């Protein structure tokens, strides 16, 4: 595969068996798909949510274990005699993300104990120690590795990366924060990555980690990767959120957007296309004045109520401005990489969610494109509901397959070097 466009349109090899991997907290298997594209064989996955498990099965056809807290011993027993090349683990990140947005909580191990998801990475480490894969790979939000947390018995306090290294003493490790745009994903998406290689599989394991498996050394970046959001989604049909007929592409279940009320559509459609502006900056529709400050709806020039700005109509008919942030109700900039694709991609009031030029949010297909998810990835129709919002969640929480593809290509090279 040579280019981003080829990657997006390609299917995985029919008999991928160049390395074997197990995926923990696999979600819908989107990140695993990149490993499959690289020729990897998924032995099994682990995912607690049934909808996500169903999507994974549709694409891989392998067993998907349930809650890792309840299945880690069974998984360990099942694979204790199997030669596993890679264990990939992407624990739930919501609690780490929350801590990242609130000052000081990253340093508070007591706060970390309030959410049991914070300790799920210990379960992944338990499986890793039991089945001893050649390589272990963790991915999560930027805050993950530096989060202070208590050990499972409560006796010790340390940062997550310290617990990873202390638990995987048989392994040489690398950890750091990278932006996935450097691997060709057309969005700004910073993530924590930790890679570990078992020292006893070759006398030069440390060198292989340093020169092949460390993300900065992955050498298969695809050519012609999009440099802007519009470049990445330019081939997709135009949509508009004003009515049902213009809000969907009948040939693509993922290429659809919400239909807005007349009031909401007015806010969006008055933001100049390509401007990167927010509805909070819309001009007065009566006099054209554009000097009224953010979060105000009374025109500073003529005192008219600017109804093209976000507002609420009270029961008594009075109108008040909506409280918010400067990045809400805002168009993405057309000539830059996309902002991070999140699980809330369908909410136009959320942070930087509006299409750069069209009157709507991005479609799920466009989010998939910005996550570098090949069009060949299967989306079972029974998982589609509420304007594909479930698919949006799965897309927003995934590792871009273009990243795991490069991990898989590096892994193949590393295994060859160690053989």
DSSP state string for 181-208? GGGT-SB--EEEEEEEEEGGG-TTHHHH
Per-residue tokens: 118: 């914070």
DSSP classification of residue 211 = I
Q: What CATH number was assigned to the domain covering residues 4-222+398-418? A: 3.40.50.150
pTM above 0.85, yes or no: yes
Domain chopping of the chain, boundaries: 4-222+398-418, 237-362
Give yes or no for a contact between 123 and 68, defined as CB atoms under 8 angstroms apart. Answer: yes
Give, in order, the Cα–Cα distances in Å from 365 to each of 3, 4, 352, 415: 19, 16, 17, 35
Give yes or no for a contact between 26 and 56, defined as CB atoms under 8 angstroms apart. Answer: yes
Give yes or no for a contact between 325 and 351, defined as CB atoms under 8 angstroms apart. Answer: yes
Half-sphere exposure of 336 (CA within 13 A, CB side): 13
| Ranges of residues in the chain whose predicted pLDDT is under 50 | 99-101, 103-104
SS3 56: helix
262-271: long-range pairs with CB below 8 Å, 24+? 263/307, 264/348, 265/241, 265/359, 266/307, 266/308, 267/308, 267/309, 267/310, 267/329, 268/241, 268/329, 268/348, 268/354, 268/359, 268/360, 269/242, 269/359, 270/308, 271/329, 271/330, 271/331, 271/354
């Amino acid at each position: 595969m040579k280019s981003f466009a080829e990657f997006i349109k390609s299917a995985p090899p029919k008999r991928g068996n160049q390395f074997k991997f197990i995926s923990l907290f696999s979600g819908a298997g989107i990140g695993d798909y990149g490993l499959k594209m690289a020729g990897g064989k998924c032995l099994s996955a682990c995912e607690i949510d049934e909808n996500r498990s169903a999507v994974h099965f549709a694409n891989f056809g392998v067993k998907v274990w349930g809650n890792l807290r309840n299945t880690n011993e069974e998984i360990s027993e099942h694979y204790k005699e199997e030669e596993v090349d890679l264990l990939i683990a992407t624990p739930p990140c919501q609690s780490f993300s929350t801590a990242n947005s609130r000052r000081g909580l990253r340093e508070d191990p007591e706060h970390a104990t309030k959410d049991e998801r914070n300790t799920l990475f210990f379960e992944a480490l338990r499986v890793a120690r039991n089945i001893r894969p050649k390589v272990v790979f963790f991915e999560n939000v930027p805050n993950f590795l530096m989060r202070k947390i208590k050990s499972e018995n409560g006796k010790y306090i340390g940062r997550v990366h310290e617990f990873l290294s202390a638990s995987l003493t048989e392994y040489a490790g690398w950890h750091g924060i990278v932006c996935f745009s450097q691997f060709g994903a057309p969005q700004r998406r910073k993530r924590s990555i930790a890679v570990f290689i078992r020292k006893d599989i070759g006398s030069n394991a440390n060198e292989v980690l340093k020169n092949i498996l460390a993300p900065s050394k992955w050498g298969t970046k695809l050519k012609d990767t999009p440099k802007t959001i519009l470049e990445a989604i330019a081939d997709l049909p135009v949509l508009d959120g004003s009515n049902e007929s213009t809000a969907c592409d009948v040939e693509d279940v993922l290429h659809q957007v919400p239909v807005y009320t007349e009031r909401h559509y007015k806010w969006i459609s008055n933001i100049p296309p390509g401007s990167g502006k927010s509805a909070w900056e819309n001009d007065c529709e009566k006099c054209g004045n554009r000097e009224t400050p953010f979060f105000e709806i009374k025109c500073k020039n003529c005192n008219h109520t600017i109804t093209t700005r976000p507002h609420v109509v009270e029961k008594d008919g009075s109108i008040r401005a909506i409280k918010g942030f400067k990045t809400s109700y805002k168009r993405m900039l057309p000539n830059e990489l996309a902002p991070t694709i999140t699980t809330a991609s369908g909410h136009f009031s959320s942070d930087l969610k509006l299409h750069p030029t069209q009157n709507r949010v991005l479609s799920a297909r466009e989010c998939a494109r910005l996550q570098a998810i090949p069009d060949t990835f299967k989306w079972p129709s029974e998982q589609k509901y509420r304007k594909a919002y479930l698919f949006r969640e799965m897309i927003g929480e995934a590792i871009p397959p273009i990243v795991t593809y490069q991990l898989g290509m590096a892994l193949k090279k590393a295994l060859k070097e160690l053989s």
